[in-house]
A and B are shown apart, each in its own frame.
Chain A
């Protein structure tokens, strides 16, 4: 049994201690992570269609009327690093409305709430790893990290892959956002190729004419030994 205190901060995930994102200063562990050995990689809990409602993946149809903003489709595949699709993966999303305001008590940004937009959705991937959401494009919003700090438009995602080790919480961004160079959360991913994988791509094949632009966002989870 060896005890290794190592830095596992590779080029993909952000390092925990990232000073430009101020909230890390009292929350990032000060001691190095310890390699967990032996490691039992528990299989993810099993989700079924009873856990997900019919309209849960359409954030534009969860209220009496339609939300304001630019209607979009966000779709893609969930795969592991070897390309194997992950089926029945639970994908949960949450986001601000078109004005950049979350339907959350603690969001103090003085932009209007939209009574027709709750900003939360979930779905399960199909056998080919595919998922799809219909939503509206979220707005950029200010935050207090530094003077005149603004977050680029983004959608939060939570994913359960096959196992504990493939658990992922991330954020999806929109192509060409001029706020990218100024956002420490986006920039906390230091490898530009890895950072690029946080940006959805406009996809005309996903775009429904006269209805909604389509954005493709494929998600790659850590490989696991599980089927």
Chain B
């Protein structure tokens, strides 16, 4: 006997009231790795009312953090690189909520200094090279940049789970 699920609805424009009362963007406490990025819409304009969550495996349970975007669509996290799991390359699961998204989007961030394990990762291997490129963060001055393009030619790959 199963019961029907409660449907998703958009997070709307005013979620900071409930979801951003205190900074929660430290995914791993004391983490030294900075992850920054922007959420951009189909016109390439910043999405100023999105909230991004990072989820990653860790020795002390799941590492989690969230960050609302600013007027430039920017978000920022502190974390550490999670361990590789079997033949899977290290990766961080990413959720995007926003006004205009009736349900949340799911994607994954991979690491640019893991070329060998990225090459054999089963999820990355199932994508073409342009799609793969949207999932691998770029190293810029010691900071990992992971932009999220919701729509268009260079759209980030989003997953059904």
Contacts and interface: CB of A to CB of B under 8 A. Distances in A.
Interface of A: 1-3, 6, 8, 12-16, 18, 21, 23-31, 33-46, 79, 81-83, 92-94, 102-104, 106-107, 118-122, 156, 158, 164-165, 167-171, 185-186, 188-189, 193-195, 197-198, 219-223
A26 B43 CA distance: 7
Contact of B159 (A1, A35, A104, A220): A35
Contacts, number: 212
**Would you list the 4 A-B pairs with minimal beta carbon distance, nearest first?**
A94-B18, A23-B100, A27-B100, A14-B102
Contacts of A1: 122, 125-126
Given A1-B122, A36-B159, A45-B62, A28 B151 contact: yes
Given A27-B101, A45-B64, A83-B1, A93 B93 contact: no
B100 A28 contact: yes
B150 A28 contact: yes
Interface of B: 1-19, 21, 41-43, 45, 47, 53, 55-57, 61-64, 85, 88, 93, 95, 97-106, 108, 122-123, 125-127, 131, 150-152, 155, 157-161
The secondary structure that dominates the A interface is: loop
A220 B8 CA distance: 11
Contacts of B21: 120
A186 B9 CA distance: 8
Contact of A79 (B3, B8, B105, B151): B3
Nearest to A184: B102
Given A118-B17, A165-B161, A169-B9, A81 B3 contact: yes
B151 A93 contact: no
A41 B55 CA distance: 10
A15 B100 CA distance: 11
A130 to B, nearest CB: 16
B160 A36 contact: yes
Contacts of A21: 10, 100, 102
Contacts of B8: 13-14, 168-170
A27 B62 CA distance: 29
Contact of A81 (B2, B42, B62): B2
A93 B98 contact: no
A83 B1 CA distance: 8
A21 B13 CA distance: 14
A18 B102 contact: yes
A206 B68 CA distance: 35
Nearest to B61: A46
B103 A158 contact: no
B85 A106 contact: no
B26 to A, nearest CB: 12
Contacts of A94: 14-15, 17-19
B101 A220 contact: no
A171 B9 contact: yes
B133 to A, nearest CB: 14
A193 B3 CA distance: 11
Nearest to B47: A27
A120 to B, nearest CB: 5
A1 B83 CA distance: 23
A39 B57 CA distance: 13
17 contacts: A2-B126, A8-B160, A24-B100, A27-B42, A27-B150, A28-B100, A38-B88, A79-B3, A103-B17, A120-B21, A164-B55, A169-B97, A169-B104, A171-B12, A197-B4, A198-B7, A220-B4
